[in-house]
Amino acid sequence: MAAETLAGALTDIIRIGGETMPEAPEKNLALDIVRITEAAALSSARWLGRGNKEAGDGAAVDAMRNSFSTLHVDGIVVIGEGEKDHAPMLYNGESVGMGDGPQLDVAVDPVEGTSLLAYGRPNAISTVAVAPRGSMFNPGPSYYMQKLVVAREARDVIDLDAPVAVNLNNVARALDKNVQDLVVFVLDKPRHKKLIEDIRSTGARIQLHTDGDVAGALMAVDPRSEVDIMMGTGGTPEGVLAACAIKGMGGQILARLDPQSYVEKEAINEAGIDIREVLTVHDLVRSDDCFFAATGISGGDFLRGVRYSARHAVTHSLVLRGKTGTLRYVESYHNMDRLSKISAVQY
């Protein structure tokens, strides 16, 4: 108890001689939650290309549940497995963690891109984000939102209601590029036919992806990625999840709920959520004290997939701490013989 009291005191602002001293470093939960995404990736990667979305997703969900049970946190799932995908549930409102640590909002996507995993396509990832209780935007019955995502250098020049050409020209100037040099991430969906035509008319280049909403947002803000901007309508839960990473990298997401059916629109209205409001990264995650981790499952543009050798499984992850802006790329070598003997997770 004395040690806990001392640790708590050290995290408070210290005043000496009337001067405010910097806060002492706090525990970096990103280094805990990356163990969760690694476990989910290792479990689900066994299903790569085997054509069974449910089995791959179910393996990742079970691994996440087991891994969360070892963390000293009091978490409530705000963004979880949901009814839109008819997936096995880490359901919204579920308690995770041992219940004896910080109170957290939790966002999970055990397999983002279940079809990508099932058919052996690139950019399936496992993701987890956490933030202080009550700081994550709760999407309620909203499944879809319009999004515009850029990195730090262009975060002040975008407008969700501006024409595509205006946004692309402004982003190009902010990045000191020609519009023709930009790469735009767009989901290859019928709803984006006009958007794709508008982008092509500017001369900008496009990466079309069948799935991978969170991955696309990460690419737009990752300094190693060739993607400069993400545009179009994707998942609302995925937007909140990605916002934790975008905030940590200093980027921006502008978003507006974009229901794709009358039933969804009516449910949003009944929940009292304003469909017209433009949401920023700070609306989606209202605390800088947020953490994000993602681990590649299938090989991709920015995170390599799970690779097996005679003795090890190798994972590649991205971890972020919002408060410091520290971004880490973590390559881990997992001794599968030893891990299988001590872990409750089925690898």
Q: What is the pLDDT along the chain (347 residues), one digit of tens a residue?
A: 444 433 443 333 334 344 444 444 467 898 899 999 999 999 999 999 999 999 999 999 999 999 999 999 999 999 987 654 444 457 888 899 999 889 999 999 999 999 999 999 999 999 999 999 999 999 989 999 999 999 999 999 999 999 999 999 999 999 999 999 999 999 999 999 999 999 999 999 999 999 999 999 999 999 889 999 999 999 999 999 999 999 999 999 999 999 999 999 999 999 999 999 999 999 999 999 999 999 999 988 789 999 998 888 999 999 999 989 999 999 999 887 777 766 666 66
How far, in Å, are 35, 64, 128, 140, 282 from residue 318 at the CA level?
A: 11, 17, 11, 28, 21
pTM of this structure? 0.87
- Res 91: pLDDT: 82
Residues belonging to the binding site for Mn(2+) are 57, 81, 109, 112, 238
Residue ranges of domains in the chain: 29-133+290-340, 144-284
User: What CATH code is assigned to 144-284?
Assistant: 3.40.190.90
pLDDT at 50: 96
Q: Contact 139/237 with Cβ under 8 angstroms?
A: yes
Provide the pLDDT for residue 101.
Answer: 87
Output the pLDDT for position 310.
82
CATH number of 29-133+290-340, picked from 3.30.540.10, 3.50.30.10, 3.50.50.60, 3.40.470.10: 3.30.540.10
- Give me the pLDDT at residue 4, please: 40
Q: Quick one: pLDDT at residue 136?
A: 96
> Which residues line the annotated binding site for substrate?
112-114, 144, 189-191, 211-213, 235
Give which of 250, 248, 218, 245 is closest to 323, Cα–Cα.
248
Q: Residues marked as binding?
A: 57, 81, 109, 112-114, 144, 189-191, 211-213, 235, 238
